[in-house]
Chain A
Amino acid sequence: MAAEREKLVLIGNGMAGVGTIEQILKLGGAYDITVFGSEPHPNYNRIMLSYVLEGSKTIEDIILNDLGWYEDNHITLHTGTTVTRIDEQNKVILTDNGLAVPYDKAIIATGSNSFILPVPGSTKDGVVGFRDIADCDAMLAAAKQYRTAAVIGGGLLGLEAAKGLVNLGMDVTVVHLLEDLMERQLDRTASSMLQAELTRQGVKFAMGKQTVELTGEERVTGLRFSDGSVLPAEFVVMAVGIKPNVQLAKDSGITVNRGIVVDDYMQTSMADVYSVGECTEHRGTCYGLVAPLFEQGMVLAKHLSGVQTPGYEGSVVATKLKISGVDVFSAGEFTETPEHTVISAKDEWKRTYKKILLKDNVIVGAVLFGDVTESANLQKLVKNSTEMTNEIYDEVMGTSCCGGGGAKKGMSVEAMADEEIVCGCNGVTKKAIVDAVTENGFTTVDEIKACTGATRSCGGCKPVVEQILQFVLGDSFQQSAKQGICSCTSLSRDEIVAEITAKGLRTTKEVMHVLDWKQAEGCSKCRPAVNYYLGMIYPDTHEDEKESRFVNERMSANIQKDGTYTVIPRMYGGVTTPEDLKRIADVSLKYDVKVVKVTGGQRLDLIGVKKEDVPKVWEELDMPSGYGYAKSLRTVKTCVGSQFCRFGTQDSMGMGAMLERKYERLDMPAKFKMAVNGCPRNCAESCTKDIGIVGNDGGWEVFIGGNGGIKPRIADAFCKVKTDEELVEVCSAVIQYYRETGNYLERTSEWVERMGLEQIQTVVMGNDDNRKELAARIDFALAQVSDPWRKMLDDKNTRTALFEETQV
Chain B
Amino acid sequence: MERSNREYTIGAVEDFMLQIGRVVHAGEVELAIFRTSNGAVYAVRNHSPHPKGGPLAEGIVSGYYLYDPLHDWKIDLRTGEVQAPDRGQAEVYPVTVEGGVVKVTLPAAVTTLN
B46 CB to closest chain A CB, in angstroms? 8
Q: Which residues of B contact A68 (CB under 8 A)?
A: 51
Tell me the complex Cα distance, A103–B18, Å.
55
Is A806 a contact of B10 with CB atoms below 8 Å? yes
Is A436 a contact of B85 with CB atoms below 8 Å? yes
Known contacts A450-B85, A806-B25, A808-B24: does B70 contact A547 (CB below 8 Å)?
no
Is B20 a contact of A802 with CB atoms below 8 Å? yes
Q: Which residues of B contact A521 (CB under 8 A)?
A: 19, 37, 61-63
For this complex, 6 residue pairs linking A to B, each with C-beta atoms less than 8 Å apart, are A450-B85, A547-B18, A548-B60, A611-B23, A805-B24, A806-B25
Q: Which residues of A contact B54 (CB under 8 A)?
A: 561-563
Known contacts A523-B62, A559-B58: does B86 contact A450 (CB below 8 Å)?
yes
Known contacts A436-B85, A546-B20, A551-B69: does B25 contact A808 (CB below 8 Å)?
yes
A440 within 8 A of B: yes
B11 within 8 A of A: yes
Please name 19 further chain A to chain B contacts, defined as beta carbons within 8 Å, in addition to the given A521-B61, A547-B61, A806-B10, sorted by A numbering: A68-B51, A69-B51, A440-B85, A442-B85, A450-B85, A509-B37, A521-B37, A522-B62, A524-B60, A524-B67, A546-B20, A547-B60, A550-B69, A559-B55, A559-B69, A561-B52, A801-B15, A805-B25, A806-B23
Known contacts A519-B63, A520-B63, A546-B20: does B85 contact A559 (CB below 8 Å)?
no
Q: Which residues of A contact B60 (CB under 8 A)?
A: 523-524, 527-528, 547-550
Looking across the interface, which residue of chain B has its beta carbon closest to that of A549? B60
Q: Which residues of B contact A520 (CB under 8 A)?
A: 62-63
Known contacts A451-B85, A561-B70: does B9 contact A808 (CB below 8 Å)?
yes
A555 within 8 A of B: yes
Across the A-B interface, the 4 shortest Cβ-Cβ residue pairs: A451-B85, A524-B67, A547-B19, A551-B58
Is A527 a contact of B62 with CB atoms below 8 Å? yes
Known contacts A66-B51, A547-B18: does B58 contact A555 (CB below 8 Å)?
yes
B80 within 8 A of A: no
A713 within 8 A of B: no
Tell me the complex Cα distance, A520–B67, Å.
15
Known contacts A60-B52, A523-B74: does B69 contact A808 (CB below 8 Å)?
no
Q: Which residues of B contact A801 (CB under 8 A)?
A: 15-17, 20, 22
B13 within 8 A of A: no
Which residues, 49 to 99 on B, are CB-close (under 8 Å) to A? 51-52, 54-55, 58-63, 65, 67, 69-70, 72, 74, 84-86
Tell me the complex Cα distance, A447–B72, Å.
12
A478 within 8 A of B: no
Which of B26, B72, B74 is the one whose CB lies under 8 Å from A808? B26
Binding site for A on B (CB under 8 A): 8-11, 15-20, 22-27, 37, 51-52, 54-55, 58-63, 65, 67, 69-70, 72, 74, 84-86
Known contacts A60-B52, A440-B85: does B63 contact A808 (CB below 8 Å)?
no
Q: Which residues of B contact A554 (CB under 8 A)?
A: 20, 58
Q: Which residues of A contact B55 (CB under 8 A)?
A: 559, 563
Instruction: Write out, one digit per residue, whether chain A residues 38-74 have a CB within 8 A of any chain B CB (1) or not (0).
Output: 0000000000000000000000100100101100000
Instruction: Write out, one digit per residue, whether chain A residues 490-522 have a CB within 8 A of any chain B CB (1) or not (0).
Output: 000000000000000000010000000001111
Tell me the complex Cα distance, A611–B20, Å.
15
Looking across the interface, which residue of chain B has its beta carbon closest to that of A798? B17
Tell me the complex Cα distance, A63–B50, Å.
13
Binding site for B on A (CB under 8 A): 60, 63, 66, 68-69, 436, 440, 442, 447, 450-451, 509, 519-524, 527-528, 546-551, 554-555, 559, 561-563, 611, 798, 801-802, 805-808
Q: Which residues of B contact A548 (CB under 8 A)?
A: 60
Tell me the complex Cα distance, A417–B23, Å.
50
Q: Which residues of B contact A519 (CB under 8 A)?
A: 62-63, 65
Q: Which residues of B contact A527 (CB under 8 A)?
A: 60, 62
Tell me the complex Cα distance, A758–B22, Å.
49
Q: Which residues of A contact B85 (CB under 8 A)?
A: 436, 440, 442, 447, 450-451
Q: Which residues of A contact B67 (CB under 8 A)?
A: 523-524
Q: Which residues of B contact A555 (CB under 8 A)?
A: 58
B54 CB to closest chain A CB, in angstroms? 6
Q: Which residues of A contact B37 (CB under 8 A)?
A: 509, 521
Q: Which residues of A contact B22 (CB under 8 A)?
A: 801, 805-806
Is A808 a contact of B62 with CB atoms below 8 Å? no
Q: Which residues of A contact B18 (CB under 8 A)?
A: 547
Is A559 a contact of B23 with CB atoms below 8 Å? no
Residue from the set A561, A563, A801, A807 with the largest chain B CB neighbour count within 10 Å: A563
Looking across the interface, which residue of chain B has its beta carbon closest to that of A451? B85
Is A524 a contact of B72 with CB atoms below 8 Å? yes
Q: Which residues of B contact A802 (CB under 8 A)?
A: 20
Q: Which residues of B contact A807 (CB under 8 A)?
A: 24-25
Which of B24, B51, B70, B72 is the one whose CB lies under 8 Å from A559? B70
B37 CB to closest chain A CB, in angstroms? 6
Looking across the interface, which residue of chain B has its beta carbon closest to that of A509? B37
Tell me the complex Cα distance, A548–B26, Å.
27
Q: Which residues of B contact A528 (CB under 8 A)?
A: 60
Q: Which residues of B contact A522 (CB under 8 A)?
A: 62
Q: Which residues of B contact A451 (CB under 8 A)?
A: 84-86
Tell me the complex Cα distance, A130–B16, Å.
52
Which of B9, B10, B51 is the one whose CB lies under 8 Å from A63? B51
Q: Which residues of B contact A66 (CB under 8 A)?
A: 51
B105 CB to closest chain A CB, in angstroms? 13
A139 CB to closest chain B CB, in angstroms? 24
Looking across the interface, which residue of chain A has its beta carbon closest to that of B69? A551
